[in-house]
Structure 1
């Protein structure tokens, strides 16, 4: 007995389907063979009747007489059958066997013959209990005498042949079922064994052993499942590595300003410095404190986005004004590298969004452009209407660019193209999620050594009249 499980279900279902199919095929086949044999006997008798009737109208004439009935027997006689001549009431007048001439026939073939058709009846012969077929036909002699010609032939031999054929069919069906059972076990094993292997490897992965892999050249859905689990393990390892790199990076990012703050604090506490040196130290402390606050806020923003807890204060946003503010905020940093910030936006565009969060996105994009652009270069910010009701804000630089291998991952959380430039690797990930919260999308095109173009596509809103108040709501 097969124990409960998928193997048992597959085997039982497979056997059941094949068994039902075989049963239907054999039943239809045997019924067709039986019908063919029985129809062949019936057709042979009806053909003989038709031939005999053609000769009958030329050979027999006169009144009814025993000689006339005998002539009927001679004309319609057929090998291996009993021929009976009946009245329309079913009374037997004469039989080719010579027995029971006074018997009345009550089977259904006689009324059918009297009705004008060729009657047919299959059943058991009274007395002998033999399987027979009776075929009856109404015959007219010279338009005056009417008789029912009835043929009775044994079907025992045909039934015996059909029985033997049935037994052979059952034997063949049993052999087929035996083969099906063997194949069903093979089929079940081909599905169950890979699943058991996948389950075992998955259990190892659940325990943290992500270096374990599903081995085997599996096909179709099982192969897809194995590939997906292996890919999942690779992604978990990559995510863990990114997380470890992030922890290492953020530790360094936090340690550097903290070291500066601690060093200058101890220095200033010791006293003895002129006002200029004290001012310099306090400036460094303030700058590094702002840097720490920025790092912490970036991590908090990412945490809120991951938990779907970020709230947007929605209102009408003038994109041109927002880009101008972005340039003013980043101008001092760009000026240090003699980078020119250009704004190309002649029209006024309005969207429905959170101005502060959108400004955070554009600041991050422009800051990245400044960070990775060479001195004496330019960064262009532009806004243009797309087809339909969409707006595209483009930040284009001529910096170092991003390789094709990194372009697909640059928006992943914690990923940094150049770890030496600092940062958490969360800026683009946060920016993308903020854009998506506004119903937009962020696209990047870059070529190594030639620069990068980042496009933020946002849905536009109907322009409101200047006197209309800005509607705000929390999402």
Structure 2
């Protein structure tokens, strides 16, 4: 059974139940109101007849009483009326055709009559003395007939109302069914390359709004899937490249160690050959260590739970410590070295993880070494960018970075180098470290003239602040 049919059956049943409940409530209310009115009317007639009879029975004028009581024959709802004196002699009696009064007793109330007649009565009292009795029966058949009539009419109206609601819901469901089918078609194809088009009439409706939301979601899913595929491809490329690149230092290290550890071969080597093999082993081991460090450091910074160990760092002292180790790397690569720190940075300090920032400087220098030709100059320096930030920069005399590639260089596994020594993680690590220090990387480059990459980080300079306060005074 289709969902639409189930919903229509449920709606019809709910509508019919509601109608029947309303009819029953109105019918019971009408019956109670009519019975209460019958009770009031009966009480009034009993009291009236009792008062009137007491006067005539006291005076003994029973003939006149009988004449007056005969006027009650015109009341259609009175089933019987009987007035007797104190001795039980019947003064007046009126009953409907076929009704027997024998065996009838007073009913407790009008809501629980023993039959179709509400039986009641009164003693006739004159001057504190019982002089007779009134017995009165009022028919309640009209009440039940009126209630039954209302129930039938209400039920008929309820059925018609239910049919109308069902037909209206059916007609509406046909229209909504088409729109739901459109939406289901869109939802079923949300993972496909392209979503089906909606009819032009549905574009301005709520269905059109939902469809536009689904299309937006579809576009985001496609973008996310594209990024995921790109990320998977980059990871696969990275692992393939890493395995391939690690083979070179591992192979060289293994070969040099095999030659050094082979006793027969070692006896035939002179001192220069042994030193050369040892140098190859050390270089291969250093390259292997660097590649592994790049991978581990980048993975560590990518972990949201990792918190750098921040401390107050004197800027000049820090850079003076970084310069010698990087100068050695530049000299070993056959490049020229220059180091310069602006004098106005004296006493300035930054707040951060000294080890991470030292690695940032080292990666920027190594990156400059890769792209600087033989004999080219590499410069490490620092200068104030503004009152609250300092630029720690490394410049080279390489080929420069194209404008279209300047943002790509900070992505993982992205590199312009064809060297197997470069995994494309150095600048990505610098970008992650900058993000952890409320810093950023700034790139300035001219094709054919070189590149300068700056690590721009917040700085505090007491002398500059003191000078600023004196100027304000």
TM range (shorter): 0.5 to 0.7
1:167 aligned partner = none
Q: Matches of 1:213 and 1:418 in 2, distance apart? A: 35
**1:131-186 superposed Cα distances (whole Å, 9 cap, x missing partner):** xxxxxxxxxxxxxxxxxxxxxxxxxxxxxxxxxxxxxxxxxx99998775544334
**1:16-44 superposed Cα distances (whole Å, 9 cap, x missing partner):** xxxxxxxxxxxxxxxxxxxxxxxxxxxxx
Asked if 2 retains the 8 angstrom alpha-carbon contact of 1:324 and 1:343, the reply is no
Structure 1 unaligned blocks of 5 or more: 16-172, 202-211, 465-475
Aligned pairs (5 A) from 1:460-475 = 460-461=459-460, 463=462
Asked if 1 retains the 8 angstrom alpha-carbon contact of 2:394 and 2:453, the reply is yes
Which of 310, 313, 318 is residue 317 of structure 1 equivalent to?
A: 313
2:225 aligned partner = 233
1:194 aligned partner = 186
- Given the superposition, is the C-alpha separation of residues 404 and 2 from structure 1 closer, same or farther in structure 2, using an over 3 Å criterion? farther
3-state DSSP class of the match of 1:420? coil
Asked if 2 retains the 8 angstrom alpha-carbon contact of 1:341 and 1:379, the reply is yes
**1:80-99 superposed Cα distances (whole Å, 9 cap, x missing partner):** xxxxxxxxxxxxxxxxxxxx
Q: Matches of 1:404 and 1:216 in 2, distance apart? A: 39
TM-score by length of structure 2 reads 0.54
RMSD of aligned residue pairs (Cα, Å): 3.6
- Given the superposition, is the C-alpha separation of residues 3 and 406 from structure 1 closer, same or farther in structure 2, using an over 3 Å criterion? farther
Which of 342, 347, 350 is residue 345 of structure 1 equivalent to?
A: 342
Which of 237, 241, 249 is residue 241 of structure 2 equivalent to?
A: 249
Asked if 2 retains the 8 angstrom alpha-carbon contact of 1:340 and 1:376, the reply is no
Structure 2 unaligned blocks of 5 or more: 12-164, 199-210, 464-473
- Given the superposition, is the C-alpha separation of residues 394 and 186 from structure 1 closer, same or farther in structure 2, using an over 3 Å criterion? farther
Tell me whether 1:377 sits opposite 2:357 in the alignment: no
Q: Which has the larger radius of gyration?
A: 2
**1:312-335 superposed Cα distances (whole Å, 9 cap, x missing partner):** 332221223333333322223333
Aligned pairs (5 A) from 1:203-282 = 213-216=193-196, 220-268=212-260, 269=262, 270-271=265-266, 272-282=268-278
- Given the superposition, is the C-alpha separation of residues 183 and 404 from structure 1 closer, same or farther in structure 2, using an over 3 Å criterion? farther
Tell me whether 1:307 sits opposite 2:287 in the alignment: no
Asked if 2 retains the 8 angstrom alpha-carbon contact of 1:257 and 1:292, the reply is yes
> What number of residue pairs does the alignment pair up?
293
Structure holding more helix per residue: 2
TM-score by length of structure 1 reads 0.54
Q: Matches of 1:432 and 1:328 in 2, distance apart? A: 24
3-state DSSP class of the match of 1:401? coil
Q: Which moved more, 1:220-229 or 1:399-408?
A: 399-408
1:454 aligned partner = 453
1:363 Cα offset (Å): 0.9
Aligned pairs (5 A) from 1:8-407 = 181-198=173-190, 201=191, 213-216=193-196, 220-268=212-260, 269=262, 270-271=265-266, 272-308=268-304, 310-335=306-331, 336-346=333-343, 347-348=345-346, 349-387=348-386, 389-407=388-406
Q: Matches of 2:281 and 2:368 in 1, distance apart? A: 27
**1:290-326 superposed Cα distances (whole Å, 9 cap, x missing partner):** 2212222222222222334545332221223333333
2:74 aligned partner = none
- Given the superposition, is the C-alpha separation of residues 421 and 407 from structure 1 closer, same or farther in structure 2, using an over 3 Å criterion? farther
Asked if 2 retains the 8 angstrom alpha-carbon contact of 1:249 and 1:422, the reply is no
- Given the superposition, is the C-alpha separation of residues 241 and 328 from structure 1 closer, same or farther in structure 2, using an over 3 Å criterion? same
Asked if 2 retains the 8 angstrom alpha-carbon contact of 1:394 and 1:454, the reply is yes
Asked if 1 retains the 8 angstrom alpha-carbon contact of 2:186 and 2:195, the reply is no
